[in-house]
Structure 1
Amino acid sequence: MSAKVIRFPTRPTRLALRLEWFATDRSVLLGIWALYFALRVAVLTIDVAPTSDAEWYYLRAASLAAGRGYLDNAGAPTAFWPPGWPIALGLVFARFGASTVSLGIFNLVSAMLIGATTLALGRRLFGSEGAARAGLLLLAVYPNAIGYVPLALTEVFYTALLMAGCWVLVARTSRWHLVGAGLLFGIATLVKAQTLVVVPLVFAIAWLRAGDLWRRLPRLVGEGLLVLAIAALTVLPWSIRNQAQLGHWVAVSTNGGYTLLTGNHDTATGDYTPDAPVVEALMARPGLDEVARDAEARRLGLAWIRDHPGRFLALAPKKLMRLWLPDGEAEWAYQGGAPGYDRFAPAYRAVRLLNQAFYGALMLGFAVAFPAMIARRRRDGQRWIGWWLLPYGIALYPTLICLVFSGQSRFHYPVMPWVCMTAGWLLVTLLGRAGERRAPAPTLH
């Protein structure tokens, strides 16, 4: 006679219960949002005067708000640097006054939009509320993301536009969403001219992630072309303005050639080096207007690449290192524009070091998550290609651009919310495995 064996389910571990609470309790999400908001409001209490690039944008926005137009420092119409950020900031200044307070509040609103899209995309791309919340939490405490909020630089506003456009495409259910995405990407192109590269990337992932590849291709190509067409129409009024005021056709801006030359010349180091002799000589050359100077810079940059292919390729690793190794560059703005920087310099440096360590951990998680996700999807019998690849596509976009132009750590700022949501998925996945009880379930005989 044999005894009947009764097996009871394993009791969840404390870690498993904690993870479930983190992923399901409403108070947890409210707490993350409170932390996210409070840290960004706190940094707005630091007085930071716009300097360098930020000063240019701030003064253009003030000029637009005053009705004087988009003018250079000499008072002449210009298309130097893309105008999207000064135009948006100018609208804010026209309504609330030109001040760093108005600037900070506008950036705070943009930062909150970044947080919202990070949470929404984390849910959509990884199918996990816990992973989405973890990604938002990582972004909430990421010092460099916080540090940009008071600054008159493009990064916060641009990142909000980029993420909103991607969210609309990923979650689209009608053609009106395609129109909305086109408008968002068009405005983003006015902030950073290379943005439209992202649109084919998103549609490529949408095409590869599902079956019936060739049957779906014509429809996706048509949708992609619609988004690009709407984006181009959004940019067109600015291009017409350039033709009317500059006498030349300029699609977005006149700094593309200049940026190319700063990264590709005899003394280039892989970084953005505007003080190089060849660049300074060109900028000082008489008889060239803005458009002609940019065209000449483009010619010189392309000629250097053609004549020095080996040196151009040798710069590639340096450009990549300049782009991806350092982080925390927001500190430079405080060093140049915060009156109290010298008094609190040790604290700023400590935060910079802490940020670099945090950034390194995020990037390590981002790298490890790639093979981990492929292995998990194959184990579960899923196609390995999915929306989870979008963060890596977004990271590829500035990488390819920097290989041609130059590397700056500032350029990876728009990628970091995607890095946070991916690292958040990995963190929750690893903790979930650690929380699984390995002991056999208790039995009765």
Structure 2
Amino acid sequence: MSAKVIHFPSRPSRLALRLEWFATDKSVLLGIWALYFALRAAVLLIDVAPTSDAEWYYARAASLAAGLGYLDNSGAPTAFWPAGWPIALGLTFSRFGTSLVTLGLFNLVSAMLIGVTTLALGRRLFGSEGAARAGLLMLAVYPNAIGYVPLALTEVFYTALLMAGCWVVVTRTNRWQLVSAGLLFGFATLVKAQTLVVVPLLFAIDWLRMGQVWQRLPRLLTEGLMVLGIAVLTVLPWTIRNEVQLGHWIAVSTNGGYTLLTGNHDTATGDYTPGAPVVKELMARPGLNEVTRDAEAGRLGIAWITQNPDRFLALAPKKLARLWLPDGEAEWAYQGGAPGYARFEIVYRAVRVLNQGYYAALMLTFAAAFFVMIARRRRDGQRWIGWWLLPYGIALYPTLICLGFSGQSRFHYPVMPWVCITAGWLVMTALGRLGERTALKPTLH
């Protein structure tokens, strides 16, 4: 005599219930936010003076706050390095006072905006609250992201602008929102001149992620040009200022040629090498002003690439390695500017080692997520191109730039929230599958 086996719906496994709790309970999200804020507020208690690039930016911001203008160290008007970050910081200093406390609090606000957009973009790009929360949690405990908050460097503020601009474009419902996107990308361009590369990338993904590509092309092309046009208009007053005060049409800054040369010369090693003999010789030449020196540097860099295409190509792997392999460079700022560094050097070094391991895990997960997502979308009969590709596009743009100029691990800082968003999706997807496999399946004989 045979008995029929009746299968009833599976009882959720303990892991599945925990994942549901993580993705739905308000207290979990509040806890992640509390951790995110607390770690970034705590690092502001470390006394660290601006050094190197940070010292330049801080001094320019203080000059602007005092009403003296954007001046070099000798007191002359300059366009050296993009002025967007000193302008924003100078406005803050003029309102709340020039101090490291003001700087830290401004960066803390920017860091919180990064957190907000990380959560919002995680929800939108992957359609999962659990993945969005996991991405925010990964970013919350990422040491290098935390370490930048007290520093007078561009990275925290720039990342907030970049993510906010992308969020506006991704979630837009009318063309008026494109005005704010243009303003955000325009000011981001004043912070990092290469930013406008992101705008075509955004609209290319939007164009190809759905059907009817040729019917949709004119509208998306118009919207993309609108964002670019408003961004250019946002930068234009600074460009006009440069022509008035320096006598030359300089779109954003006068360090582009210099940066090109530091990454492409006979003794280049793939990283930013301002101490190279060719660079020193150029800086020491008499009779060259700021603009002509930068133009000459650019000419020398292009000439070297043209004359040495094989060596230029050979530098590419080194530049990529400099950009993507190391992490935790925030420690250098504390090594040079924190009076207590020597006493706690072993702690700083331990955090640096832990950060490198955590960074490697994030990047491996980020890489794996690309192939997993393509496989899932093909299995489900979806177009493989979608908004989920945006984090990879954001990672591609500094990669291409570093190949032409030089590699620095600092340049991948704005990519890391996107890495966390994507890694969060893969981790939650993997845990969800594991939870399904371990579900209890009751039967009745």
Describe how 1:107-256 pairs up with structure 2 within 5 A: 107-256=107-256
Give the Cα separation in 2 of the matches to 1:154 and 1:4. 68
- 1:374 matched to 2:374? The reply is yes
Q: The residue matched to 1:422 in structure 2 has which SS?
A: helix
Give the Cα separation in 1 of the matches to 2:147 and 2:443. 56
Q: How many equivalent residue pairs? A: 445
Give the Cα separation in 1 of the matches to 2:23 and 2:113. 21
Give the Cα separation in 2 of the matches to 1:6 and 1:350. 57
Give the Cα separation in 2 of the matches to 1:428 and 1:442. 26
- Equivalent residues of 1:12, 1:437 under 8 A apart: no
CA apart distance, 1:112: 0.1
Give the Cα separation in 1 of the matches to 2:364 and 2:218. 38
- Give the letter for the 1:180 counterpart: S
Describe how 1:36-435 pairs up with structure 2 within 5 A: 36-435=36-435
CA apart distance, 1:25: 0.3
- Give the letter for the 1:200 counterpart: P
- Equivalent residues of 2:11, 2:440 under 8 A apart: no
- Give the letter for the 2:160 counterpart: A
Question: Could you give the per-residue CA deviations for residues 282-308 of structure 1, whole angstroms, max 9, x where no partner exists?
Answer: 011110110000000000000000000
- 1:442 matched to 2:442? The reply is yes
Question: Could you give the per-residue CA deviations for residues 9-40 of structure 1, whole angstroms, max 9, x where no partner exists?
Answer: 11111000000000000000000000000000
- Equivalent residues of 1:10, 1:437 under 8 A apart: no
CA apart distance, 1:83: 0.1
CA apart distance, 1:382: 1.3
CA apart distance, 1:433: 1.0
Question: Which stretches of structure 1, 4 residues or longer, exceed 3 Å deviation after superposition?
Answer: 1-6, 437-440
Distance verdict in 2 for CA 1:439–1:92, change over 3 Å: closer
CA apart distance, 1:442: 2.2
Give the Cα separation in 1 of the matches to 2:77 and 2:386. 46
CA RMSD of aligned residues (A): 1.0
Give the Cα separation in 2 of the matches to 1:37 and 1:316. 38
Q: The residue matched to 1:365 in structure 2 has which SS?
A: helix
- Equivalent residues of 2:320, 2:402 under 8 A apart: yes
Give the Cα separation in 2 of the matches to 1:298 and 1:331. 31
Q: TM-score, normalised by structure 1?
A: 0.99
Q: The residue matched to 2:167 in structure 1 has which SS?
A: helix
Structure 1, unmatched stretches of 5+, are: none
CA apart distance, 1:278: 0.4
Q: The residue matched to 1:91 in structure 2 has which SS?
A: helix
Give the Cα separation in 2 of the matches to 1:6 and 1:252. 71
Q: TM-score, normalised by structure 2?
A: 0.99
CA apart distance, 1:439: 6.8
Structure 2, unmatched stretches of 5+, are: none
CA apart distance, 1:436: 1.2
Give the Cα separation in 1 of the matches to 2:438 and 2:101. 55
CA apart distance, 1:357: 0.1
Q: The residue matched to 1:436 in structure 2 has which SS?
A: helix
Give the Cα separation in 1 of the matches to 2:352 and 2:441. 48
Give the Cα separation in 2 of the matches to 1:193 and 1:168. 20
CA apart distance, 1:8: 1.4
- Equivalent residues of 2:260, 2:297 under 8 A apart: yes
- Equivalent residues of 1:242, 1:249 under 8 A apart: yes
- Equivalent residues of 1:334, 1:341 under 8 A apart: yes
Give the Cα separation in 1 of the matches to 2:290 and 2:186. 24
- Give the letter for the 2:287 counterpart: G
Q: Could you tell me the percent identity over the aligned residues?
A: 84
